[in-house]
Amino acid sequence: AQSVTQLGSHVSVSEGALVLLRCNYSSSVPPYLFWYVQYPNQGLQLLLKYTSAATLVKGINGFEAEFKKSETSFHLTKPSAHMSDAAEYFCAVSEPGNQFYFGTGTSLTVIP
Amino acid sequence: DADVTQTPRNRITKTGKRIMLECSQTKGHDRMYWYRQDPGLGLQLIYYSFDVKDINKGEISDGYSVSRQAQAKFSLSLESAIPNQTALYFCATGNGVNEQFFGPGTRLTVL
């Protein structure tokens, strides 16, 4: 069985500060892992994905995530938050070829 | 043009009415999905289809039905809408390997 846990449903950071959004997963086989972003009144857009290549994955808009098998984690980071980063972020896990399982989401607020 | 389109984008209906949400894609993917999004619950899978002749129930299929009319079209129906089906509905496509592509969503309100 697969599942995703996102710690913190709401995260607030100051503009220019580090962004850290946490994601832990469970999977019986090596998973594929994803971060999606949802801006207000829009669909989900892929930020980045891990598919068993490099463990440090770089995505769009300066975001990156590191796959840590020993910790079953795939935390999302960005060194310096920008106002435009305010959005809902979803972590997802998939076993290759199978359906996705999404976390409950983390709403990021950026304080000017 | 968008790769995954959903119609309507917004819909208000009354309890007991039948409603259909439509999804079309131009990505050529075999796999299509319907999700429901509620605040604090993330995305929950309603139905998914791996090809035209393959339909599968997801986590929360009760009260919903689907039709895969063609590779590019996947419709979601609420036979008799109820207020707790008020939510944001997303269609997605996938190539079965490593990504899903989402439509813009349909905001459904059941009064």
pLDDT in 10s for each residue of chain A, 112 residues: 678 999 999 999 999 999 999 999 987 777 889 999 999 888 899 999 998 778 899 999 999 999 998 899 999 999 999 999 999 999 998 876 667 889 999 999 999 9
What whole-number distance in Å separates Cα of residue A78 and Cα of residue A90? 15
Can you tell me which residue has the tokens 């994905």? A49
Residues of A with Cβ-Cβ distance to B102 under 8 angstroms: 36, 43-45
Alpha carbon A73 to its chain centroid, in Å, reads: 10
pLDDT in the model for residue A97: 63
Q: Is the pLDDT of residue B82 over 70?
A: yes
Q: Is B46 on the interface with A (CB under 8 A)?
A: no
What's the gap in Å between the CA of A109 and the closest CA on chain B?
16
Q: Is B10 on the interface with A (CB under 8 A)?
A: no
Strand partners, A75: A66
Most distant pair of Cα atoms in chain A: their distance:
42
Nearest to B23 by CA among B77, B78, B62: B77
Neighbour-count burial of B67, counting CB atoms closer than 10 A to its CB (0-12 exposed, 13-18 middle, 19+ buried)? middle
pLDDT in the model for residue A25: 92
Q: Do B99 and A45 touch (CB under 8 A)?
A: no
pLDDT in the model for residue A64: 97
pLDDT in the model for residue A42: 86
Neighbour-count burial of B13, counting CB atoms closer than 10 A to its CB (0-12 exposed, 13-18 middle, 19+ buried)? middle
Lowest average pLDDT, out of A18-22, A39-43, B5-9, B101-105, goes to A39-43
